[in-house]
Each structure stands twice: as C-alpha cells, then as structure tokens.
Structure 1
Amino acid sequence: MKNESLNKKATFRKTLIGGTLSINDLRDIEFKGEELSPQERLALKNYDRYRISILNSQKSEKDFHAAYTKLQVLANLSPFDEFLKEEYFI
C-alpha cells in the first residue's frame, strides 16, 4: 500500500536519468495532467502538423504505411526539440 502511494506521486522523467524526452514522452506527460512548457507544447504541435502533412502527401497505401512507420520511430526516439527546428514549422 505504501509503495502504491509512492508510485502515484512519483513522476518519471527521462531527463532525470540522462535521457531526452521524445514526442511520445510529452504525450504521456500531458495525458497524466502534468503541465508542459511552451517549447514542449510547440514541439507537439509542430510534430502533429508535420505528421499530417507527410501522411496526406503519400500517393499509395504502401508509401503511406512506410511514412507512418517512420513517423512512429521519430515520435518514439527523436528528442522533442528536433521538432522545434524550422523545417517542421508547417
């Protein structure tokens, strides 16, 4: 019971262990009801716009699935600040 309450209060952040936060980490944080910084919110917005743009531009189902898989990898493994770069402002 004591460990359960500790787990509910504890927040896991990759930055505490030397990792970088990804887009999916930011989504998890936001889903938990925690506040995101303005930069984190902007990165999420940029990623979502970029994702929609890329997926809408695909000409075949095969290309769509390949792009979708690539975008999943980016969301899971790329640091969120990658999506603060100008190339992702759509």
Structure 2
Amino acid sequence: MDEGMTAVRRQFPTRIKAIDDLSARSEDFREICRDFADAQSALEKWDVSTDPKRAERVVEYQELVAELSKEIEGALDHASLSPPR
C-alpha cells in the first residue's frame, strides 16, 4: 500500500473499505490521496521548522490538507452513491 492510501486510511478509519474500493478503480482518487499525504508531510516539516516563514507555511498547508480532506470525503460520498463499474 502506498503512502497516500495509508495517510487517507488513517484520516478516515471508518471508511477504509470505501477507500480501498475506490482506489482500486480510480487513478484520480489515488492521485488526490498522494497529494494529501504530501501535504501532510510538508505540514509536519513546516510545523517544526525554524524558518521565518514557518507560521505562514503552516497555515497554507493546514488549509491544503483541509481542502484535500474535503475532496477525498466528497469522492468517497459520491462513490458510495454510485455502483462500481
């Protein structure tokens, strides 16, 4: 399992089956999951940084993580309403 799927499964532990099902059939979903994992990783790095732009970058990555989380949740909701092809 790749890092993106692991991060999303951790974020949505009650939706693991839906995550696995959707990731098995959607490259777009897998890409969003990779972006989510990358954003979380960057947030963690900026969170402990001593760079003068730390606070600004933390806010940016928090927003990105939140947006991607909503996008993932929306994709999961949509997939649960649509039968698999």
Same fold (TM over 0.5): no
Structure with greater contact order relative to length (CA < 8 Å, sep ≥ 6): 1
- TM-score, L = length of structure 2: 0.38
Higher helix share goes to which structure?
Answer: 2
Larger radius of gyration, structure 1 or 2?
1
